[in-house]
Amino acid sequence: MRKLLLVPALLFSLASFSQSPVDKSFPKEELFALGSYYYPEQWDSSQWERDLKKMSEMGIKFTHFAEFAWAMMEPEEGKFDFDWLDRVVSLADKYGLKVIMCTPTPTPPVWLSKKYPDILIQRDNGVTIQHGRRQHASWSSDRYRKYVERIVFRLAEHYGNNPAVIGWQIDNEPGHYGVVDYSENAQVKFRFWLQKKYGTIDKLNDVWGNSFWSETYQDFSQVRLPSQQEVPDKPNPHAMLDLNRFMADELAGFVNMQADILRRHINKDQWITTNLIPVFNPVDPARIDHPDFLTYTRYLVTGHKQGIGNQGFRLGIPEDLGFSNDQFRNCVGKAFGVMELQPGQVNWGTYNPQPLPGAVRMWVYHVFAGGGKFVCNYRFRQPLKGSEQYHYGMIMTDGVTLSPGGKEYACVAEEMKKLRAAYDKKNHMPGQLAARRIGMLFDMSNYWEMEFQRQTDQWWTLPHMHKYYNLLKSFAAPVDVISEKEDFSSYPFLIAPAYQLLDNALVARWTKYVENGGHLILTCRTGQKDRDAKLWEAPLAAPIHQLAGISNLFYDHMPRNLWGKVNFGDRQYGWNNWADVITPSAGTQVWATYADQFYKEAASVTHRKLGKGTVTYIGTDTDDGKLEKDVMRRVYAEAGASTEDLPYGVVKEWRDGFYIALNYTSDIQEIAIPDKAEILIGNARLEPAGVVVWKE
């Protein structure tokens, strides 16, 4: 009997000591690692050793191979050649560089697509995408998946026990770069998916509302992926939501399948990840749950965004990294890295400015500040020919001179030594910060639904989220961007911006959260529909009425050139994007009211106490976010949580005992650092692209 009791106890204690492969590769006390992409297939093999030696001398800890090298690995069907890759892996090892090995599945070799053109994706206009770039094979092709299974297995078998290989990246930015796959394979799989979801065609007709306009189907075989090209105006909204969910499942299934194959054949010390473009159709990180953790890719200076001030176009905007850090940190495995950051100019922007000197370094610090395990910089060498000519590397075109970005990486590698020396593993988040923590709920189904039915040309879902994200960051609040899988109870504050699709179970969870002392913030559009995007057979947003203390609400929009006014406190704010006009129930406080329009004096923002917590409903969406910010500050103040007032573009984060501040603005910013603090990197006077790190 005693023996029996001892065994589980022993197992338990062994389990608690066993480190995850991610922690083994990136030990906590090392804080952060730097990596760089290298394409041996692009360079003369006589240069491999020189390049990898140089990479190692720069303080880079790992490199990244082979995500596009299928044609070299399997030059002919069934003939595998890993000799070249073996040589370059052992050279990396010789210089102390670890390797991320990638599955080459974004780039099938030409023999495969010529022999089996049915593996290719097809655009909505019927054009089949041909060999010659990447991301052109269909996740829905069983044939393609068979070839994928084999190459992934061969790679896993070959490198699954190689100690130089620390982990695996599946594919590269799976997502077909925005092309929705209308191939016959996808059509067939979509019908299976619908059949599994709905069971009967009557059910599908019911959920999609097909009795209107004679849209009714008699059989699943009649259904096609909804396409703008095949209908005179917009496709059915429920069909579109299902299309997005289906595509996200196909993508996730493709990645999860590869993860399962790798898992069966690799050593338990190697981890598995993939690199995703954040908030990009049809990527839904919440569905990709077989890897150990997820990474993302990000390019901040591409001519698309003006940034902050006259040099902003060289600096990028903080939410591009911050929001993704805070989302990916909360995905599977609760760890993340950034798999790609630009080292300088890219070749594919609307125009391609030079990043401001220091910006590359600042971005790396932003990932560090967000709790990332690593940044892997894209790419080591600038290509001289072929795709991506003009894309900077860490090394200039001569193959040996460090680029400005390369120098900035080398600088961070040196500075990290200082931070490691100052690291105290007994740190914990200061109480003042912990009191400001907020969970921000985000779900791709809401995003898909609202992007398809924007209702006003001024509605954009992500900017709505970012408005709240940025104002919370100006409070220096720690934000976790989370899915409904998370337990909300550890957050003093929880916000669900424009959470359009929900069910009673979620409302019950929110209610309990509030009754137990949480402060919930809901914003316009929340709760208007069920999970199938059906409006309730009840007043608009009925399921949240009781929780929010609302007895009725409707919404309004205004043209871009006119401004409605809202009174809050002694100030007036302008809006024209979106207004939920609220009738509060008895006992609900009205915090802000409309100052004009036919509903003058109706509520724009309400607040109520419930149990030990509060619910605030912010019904108006403004361009400048000033109303939202002032309301949120009051929510924080009434809950007894302090806030800071950082200008947009000044980032202040805390990680592992370190405070980090960054400057994305074009002006000098003075950071308030207590006199007793120990400044480790930089100083309180932050130049544009400046970084300061201190301990208090």
Residue ranges binding ligand GAL (CB under 6 A): 172-173, 297, 299, 340, 346, 378, 388, 391
Nearer to ligand GAL by Cβ, of 345 and 606: the residue is: 345
Kindly state the smallest distance separating residue 275's Cβ from ligand GAL, in Å.
Answer: 7
Q: Measure the CA–CA gap between 202 and 190, rounded to whole angstroms.
A: 17
Nearer to ligand GAL by Cβ, of 172 and 445: the residue is: 172
Q: Are 296 and 341 in contact (CB under 8 A)?
A: no
Q: Measure the CA–CA gap between 254 and 276, rounded to whole angstroms.
A: 13
Nearer to ligand GAL by Cβ, of 226 and 355: the residue is: 355
Q: Measure the CA–CA gap between 372 and 470, rounded to whole angstroms.
A: 19
Nearer to ligand GAL by Cβ, of 391 and 529: the residue is: 391
The beta-strand segments (E) located in 324-404 are: 336-341, 374-377
Kindly state the smallest distance separating residue 566's Cβ from ligand GAL, in Å.
Answer: 41
Nearer to ligand GAL by Cβ, of 269 and 388: the residue is: 388
Kindly state the smallest distance separating residue 291's Cβ from ligand GAL, in Å.
Answer: 17
* Residues counted in the chain: 696
Q: Measure the CA–CA gap between 246 and 661, rounded to whole angstroms.
A: 41
Nearer to ligand GAL by Cβ, of 226 and 278: the residue is: 278
Of 158, 145, 173, the C-alpha closest to 67 is: 173
Beta strands 294-298 and 33-37 are unpaired
The residue at minimum Cβ distance from ligand GAL is 173
Nearer to ligand GAL by Cβ, of 48 and 299: the residue is: 299
Identify any residues that bridge with 616 across adjacent strands, giving them in sequence order.
Answer: 521, 607
Kindly state the smallest distance separating residue 258's Cβ from ligand GAL, in Å.
Answer: 17
Residue 627 is inside which H or E element, if any? Answer: helix 626-638
Kindly state the smallest distance separating residue 405's Cβ from ligand GAL, in Å.
Answer: 13
Kindly state the smallest distance separating residue 167's Cβ from ligand GAL, in Å.
Answer: 17
Exposed, middle or buried: residue 182 (CB in 10 Å: 0-12, 13-18, 19+)? buried
Kindly state the smallest distance separating residue 389's Cβ from ligand GAL, in Å.
Answer: 11
Instruction: Say which DSSP state 137 is in.
Output: B
Exposed, middle or buried: residue 42 (CB in 10 Å: 0-12, 13-18, 19+)? middle
Kindly state the smallest distance separating residue 171's Cβ from ligand GAL, in Å.
Answer: 10
Beta strands 620-621 and 578-584 are antiparallel
Nearer to ligand GAL by Cβ, of 69 and 496: the residue is: 69
- Cα-based distances in Å from 146 to 139, 191, 251, 261, 358: 11, 21, 16, 12, 46
Nearer to ligand GAL by Cβ, of 70 and 246: the residue is: 70
Kindly state the smallest distance separating residue 299's Cβ from ligand GAL, in Å.
Answer: 6
Q: Measure the CA–CA gap between 124 and 222, rounded to whole angstroms.
A: 17
Q: Are 436 and 475 in contact (CB under 8 A)?
A: yes
